[in-house]
Chains A and B, each alone.
Chain A
Amino acid sequence: MENKKKISIVLFSGDFDKAIAAFTIASGAAAVNYEVNLFFTFWGLNVIKKYKTRNAIGEGFLAKVFNFLMGGLKNLPLSRLNFAGASPKLMTNLMKKRNVATLKELIDASILLNVNFYACEMSINILGLKKDDFIPQVKEILGVAKFLNLAENGEVLFI
Protein backbone atom coordinates (compact mmCIF):
# COMPACT_ATOMS: atom_id res chain seq x y z
CA MET A 1 0.00 0.00 0.00
CA GLU A 2 3.05 2.25 0.53
CA ASN A 3 3.40 3.16 -3.14
CA LYS A 4 -0.29 3.74 -3.78
CA LYS A 5 -0.91 6.62 -6.20
CA LYS A 6 -2.29 9.69 -4.55
CA ILE A 7 -4.22 12.84 -5.44
CA SER A 8 -5.05 15.72 -3.14
CA ILE A 9 -7.66 18.23 -4.21
CA VAL A 10 -8.17 21.64 -2.63
CA LEU A 11 -11.75 22.74 -3.12
CA PHE A 12 -11.69 26.49 -2.51
CA SER A 13 -14.72 27.22 -4.65
CA GLY A 14 -18.28 26.82 -3.46
CA ASP A 15 -19.61 26.82 -7.01
CA PHE A 16 -21.91 23.98 -7.99
CA ASP A 17 -20.08 23.20 -11.24
CA LYS A 18 -16.65 23.29 -9.65
CA ALA A 19 -17.79 21.00 -6.85
CA ILE A 20 -18.96 18.56 -9.54
CA ALA A 21 -15.51 18.73 -11.13
CA ALA A 22 -13.81 18.07 -7.78
CA PHE A 23 -16.04 15.12 -6.88
CA THR A 24 -15.87 13.64 -10.39
CA ILE A 25 -12.09 13.50 -10.14
CA ALA A 26 -12.21 12.37 -6.51
CA SER A 27 -14.61 9.47 -7.06
CA GLY A 28 -12.99 8.46 -10.35
CA ALA A 29 -9.52 8.44 -8.82
CA ALA A 30 -10.72 6.51 -5.77
CA ALA A 31 -12.37 3.96 -8.06
CA VAL A 32 -9.02 3.30 -9.73
CA ASN A 33 -7.40 2.84 -6.34
CA TYR A 34 -5.86 6.24 -5.75
CA GLU A 35 -5.63 7.52 -2.23
CA VAL A 36 -7.76 10.67 -2.43
CA ASN A 37 -7.64 13.65 -0.08
CA LEU A 38 -10.24 16.38 -0.40
CA PHE A 39 -9.33 19.56 1.42
CA PHE A 40 -12.23 21.99 1.75
CA THR A 41 -11.47 25.62 2.34
CA PHE A 42 -13.44 28.84 2.43
CA TRP A 43 -16.38 28.71 -0.06
CA GLY A 44 -15.72 25.00 -0.50
CA LEU A 45 -16.80 24.45 3.10
CA ASN A 46 -20.40 25.02 1.98
CA VAL A 47 -20.31 21.63 0.29
CA ILE A 48 -19.67 19.76 3.55
CA LYS A 49 -21.81 21.73 5.98
CA LYS A 50 -24.20 19.55 7.94
CA TYR A 51 -27.10 21.92 7.22
CA LYS A 52 -27.65 21.76 3.48
CA THR A 53 -29.67 24.97 3.21
CA ARG A 54 -29.23 28.52 4.53
CA ASN A 55 -28.68 28.49 8.27
CA ALA A 56 -27.47 31.11 10.70
CA ILE A 57 -24.76 28.94 12.25
CA GLY A 58 -21.45 30.00 13.75
CA GLU A 59 -20.26 31.97 16.69
CA GLY A 60 -21.07 35.67 16.75
CA PHE A 61 -23.50 37.87 14.85
CA LEU A 62 -21.34 38.52 11.79
CA ALA A 63 -20.49 34.83 11.41
CA LYS A 64 -24.19 33.95 11.57
CA VAL A 65 -25.07 36.48 8.85
CA PHE A 66 -22.18 35.30 6.71
CA ASN A 67 -22.97 31.61 7.07
CA PHE A 68 -26.61 32.30 6.31
CA LEU A 69 -25.65 34.10 3.09
CA MET A 70 -23.14 31.40 2.12
CA GLY A 71 -25.69 28.61 2.52
CA GLY A 72 -24.96 24.90 2.06
CA LEU A 73 -24.92 22.07 -0.45
CA LYS A 74 -28.49 22.68 -1.66
CA ASN A 75 -27.88 26.28 -2.68
CA LEU A 76 -24.49 26.21 -4.32
CA PRO A 77 -24.58 28.65 -7.25
CA LEU A 78 -23.44 27.92 -10.79
CA SER A 79 -20.21 29.83 -11.48
CA ARG A 80 -21.76 31.37 -14.59
CA LEU A 81 -25.39 31.87 -15.68
CA ASN A 82 -26.67 31.17 -12.18
CA PHE A 83 -30.00 33.03 -12.65
CA ALA A 84 -30.65 33.40 -8.93
CA GLY A 85 -30.18 29.72 -8.22
CA ALA A 86 -32.42 28.36 -10.98
CA SER A 87 -29.55 27.00 -13.06
CA PRO A 88 -28.13 24.40 -10.62
CA LYS A 89 -31.61 22.84 -10.43
CA LEU A 90 -32.00 22.87 -14.21
CA MET A 91 -28.51 21.44 -14.55
CA THR A 92 -29.26 18.62 -12.07
CA ASN A 93 -32.40 17.76 -14.05
CA LEU A 94 -30.41 17.72 -17.27
CA MET A 95 -27.79 15.49 -15.69
CA LYS A 96 -30.44 13.03 -14.51
CA LYS A 97 -32.05 13.03 -17.95
CA ARG A 98 -28.71 12.33 -19.62
CA ASN A 99 -27.79 9.72 -17.00
CA VAL A 100 -24.76 11.62 -15.80
CA ALA A 101 -24.08 11.34 -12.08
CA THR A 102 -25.46 14.26 -10.06
CA LEU A 103 -23.41 16.07 -7.42
CA LYS A 104 -25.13 14.10 -4.67
CA GLU A 105 -24.36 10.77 -6.38
CA LEU A 106 -20.72 11.78 -6.82
CA ILE A 107 -20.42 12.76 -3.15
CA ASP A 108 -22.08 9.49 -2.05
CA ALA A 109 -19.74 7.48 -4.29
CA SER A 110 -16.72 9.35 -2.91
CA ILE A 111 -17.81 8.52 0.63
CA LEU A 112 -18.34 4.84 -0.25
CA LEU A 113 -14.89 4.71 -1.85
CA ASN A 114 -13.24 6.10 1.30
CA VAL A 115 -12.15 9.47 -0.04
CA ASN A 116 -10.65 11.44 2.87
CA PHE A 117 -12.42 14.69 3.73
CA TYR A 118 -10.51 17.44 5.52
CA ALA A 119 -11.56 20.97 6.41
CA CYS A 120 -9.37 24.05 6.64
CA GLU A 121 -8.73 25.25 10.17
CA MET A 122 -8.18 28.90 9.26
CA SER A 123 -11.38 29.45 7.27
CA ILE A 124 -13.45 27.57 9.84
CA ASN A 125 -12.08 29.92 12.44
CA ILE A 126 -13.06 33.00 10.41
CA LEU A 127 -16.58 31.67 9.99
CA GLY A 128 -16.92 30.82 13.69
CA LEU A 129 -17.70 27.18 12.91
CA LYS A 130 -16.69 23.92 14.61
CA LYS A 131 -16.21 20.33 13.47
CA ASP A 132 -19.74 19.53 14.56
CA ASP A 133 -21.14 21.93 11.92
CA PHE A 134 -19.89 19.60 9.18
CA ILE A 135 -20.90 16.17 7.92
CA PRO A 136 -19.42 13.32 9.98
CA GLN A 137 -17.23 12.17 7.08
CA VAL A 138 -14.92 15.12 7.73
CA LYS A 139 -11.98 13.35 9.31
CA GLU A 140 -10.07 16.24 10.66
CA ILE A 141 -9.73 20.01 10.71
CA LEU A 142 -6.24 20.90 9.68
CA GLY A 143 -3.85 23.58 8.44
CA VAL A 144 -1.45 23.99 5.54
CA ALA A 145 1.42 22.10 7.18
CA LYS A 146 -0.65 18.96 7.72
CA PHE A 147 -2.16 19.29 4.25
CA LEU A 148 1.31 19.42 2.67
CA ASN A 149 2.20 16.35 4.67
CA LEU A 150 -0.83 14.47 3.39
CA ALA A 151 -0.29 15.64 -0.18
CA GLU A 152 3.41 14.79 -0.28
CA ASN A 153 4.48 12.63 -3.24
CA GLY A 154 1.10 12.88 -4.93
CA GLU A 155 -0.72 15.06 -7.43
CA VAL A 156 -2.30 18.28 -6.18
CA LEU A 157 -5.24 20.13 -7.72
CA PHE A 158 -6.69 23.48 -6.72
CA ILE A 159 -10.28 24.05 -7.73
Chain B
Amino acid sequence: MKTVKLDITKEHCPMTFVKTKLELEKLSKGDILEVILKEGEPLENVPKTVTEQGNKVIEIKNLHDDIHLVVIEKG
Protein backbone atom coordinates (compact mmCIF):
# COMPACT_ATOMS: atom_id res chain seq x y z
CA MET B 1 0.00 0.00 0.00
CA LYS B 2 1.34 3.39 -0.85
CA THR B 3 0.24 6.93 -0.14
CA VAL B 4 0.42 9.64 -2.77
CA LYS B 5 -0.16 13.38 -2.35
CA LEU B 6 -1.81 15.56 -4.96
CA ASP B 7 -2.12 19.32 -4.71
CA ILE B 8 -4.88 20.76 -6.90
CA THR B 9 -5.34 24.05 -5.05
CA LYS B 10 -4.24 25.98 -8.15
CA GLU B 11 -6.42 24.04 -10.58
CA HIS B 12 -9.84 24.90 -11.94
CA CYS B 13 -12.67 22.92 -13.49
CA PRO B 14 -12.32 20.47 -15.18
CA MET B 15 -8.66 19.89 -14.26
CA THR B 16 -9.47 19.44 -10.56
CA PHE B 17 -11.22 16.15 -11.06
CA VAL B 18 -9.34 15.29 -14.27
CA LYS B 19 -6.02 15.32 -12.38
CA THR B 20 -7.53 13.41 -9.46
CA LYS B 21 -8.86 10.74 -11.82
CA LEU B 22 -5.54 10.43 -13.68
CA GLU B 23 -3.65 10.12 -10.39
CA LEU B 24 -6.07 7.47 -9.12
CA GLU B 25 -5.60 5.49 -12.33
CA LYS B 26 -1.90 5.12 -11.52
CA LEU B 27 -2.64 3.58 -8.10
CA SER B 28 -3.63 0.04 -7.13
CA LYS B 29 -6.60 -1.03 -5.05
CA GLY B 30 -6.13 -0.06 -1.40
CA ASP B 31 -3.60 2.69 -2.09
CA ILE B 32 -4.23 6.08 -0.56
CA LEU B 33 -4.47 9.38 -2.42
CA GLU B 34 -4.32 12.55 -0.35
CA VAL B 35 -5.76 15.46 -2.30
CA ILE B 36 -5.26 19.01 -1.17
CA LEU B 37 -7.92 21.27 -2.63
CA LYS B 38 -9.87 24.47 -2.23
CA GLU B 39 -13.37 25.10 -1.01
CA GLY B 40 -16.17 25.47 -3.54
CA GLU B 41 -16.24 23.51 -6.79
CA PRO B 42 -13.27 21.18 -6.03
CA LEU B 43 -14.41 20.33 -2.50
CA GLU B 44 -17.95 19.69 -3.72
CA ASN B 45 -17.07 17.67 -6.78
CA VAL B 46 -13.89 15.70 -6.12
CA PRO B 47 -15.19 13.61 -3.17
CA LYS B 48 -18.50 13.06 -5.02
CA THR B 49 -16.98 11.94 -8.32
CA VAL B 50 -14.36 9.63 -6.78
CA THR B 51 -17.07 7.94 -4.67
CA GLU B 52 -19.25 7.45 -7.76
CA GLN B 53 -16.32 5.66 -9.35
CA GLY B 54 -16.02 3.09 -6.61
CA ASN B 55 -13.37 4.70 -4.42
CA LYS B 56 -13.79 5.52 -0.76
CA VAL B 57 -13.41 8.90 0.89
CA ILE B 58 -11.88 8.15 4.29
CA GLU B 59 -11.48 11.63 5.62
CA ILE B 60 -12.11 15.27 4.78
CA LYS B 61 -10.49 17.85 6.99
CA ASN B 62 -9.84 21.55 6.92
CA LEU B 63 -6.11 22.34 6.86
CA HIS B 64 -6.30 26.12 7.04
CA ASP B 65 -8.50 28.88 5.65
CA ASP B 66 -10.22 27.54 2.53
CA ILE B 67 -7.75 24.67 2.01
CA HIS B 68 -8.94 21.13 2.69
CA LEU B 69 -7.46 17.64 2.66
CA VAL B 70 -9.44 14.77 1.16
CA VAL B 71 -8.12 11.27 1.85
CA ILE B 72 -9.23 8.73 -0.75
CA GLU B 73 -8.77 4.98 -0.73
CA LYS B 74 -8.61 3.56 -4.23
CA GLY B 75 -11.35 1.01 -4.78
What residues make up the interface of A, taking CB atoms closer than 8 Å to B? 24-25, 27-28, 30-33, 98-101, 105-106, 109, 112-113
A27–B49 Cα gap in the complex (Å)?
Answer: 14
Q: Give the bracket for the number of chain B residues in contact with chain A.
A: 10 to 19
Q: What residues of A have a CB within 8 angstroms of the CB of B53 in the complex?
A: 32-33
Q: List 29 A-B contacts (CB under 8 A).
A: A24-B14, A27-B18, A28-B13, A28-B14, A31-B14, A31-B18, A31-B21, A31-B22, A31-B49, A32-B17, A32-B21, A32-B49, A32-B52, A32-B53, A33-B52, A33-B53, A98-B12, A99-B10, A99-B11, A99-B12, A100-B12, A100-B15, A101-B12, A101-B14, A101-B15, A101-B18, A106-B14, A109-B15, A109-B22
Q: What residues of A have a CB within 8 angstroms of the CB of B22 in the complex?
A: 31, 109, 112-113
Interface of B is mostly: helix
Closest A residue to B50 by beta carbon equals: A32
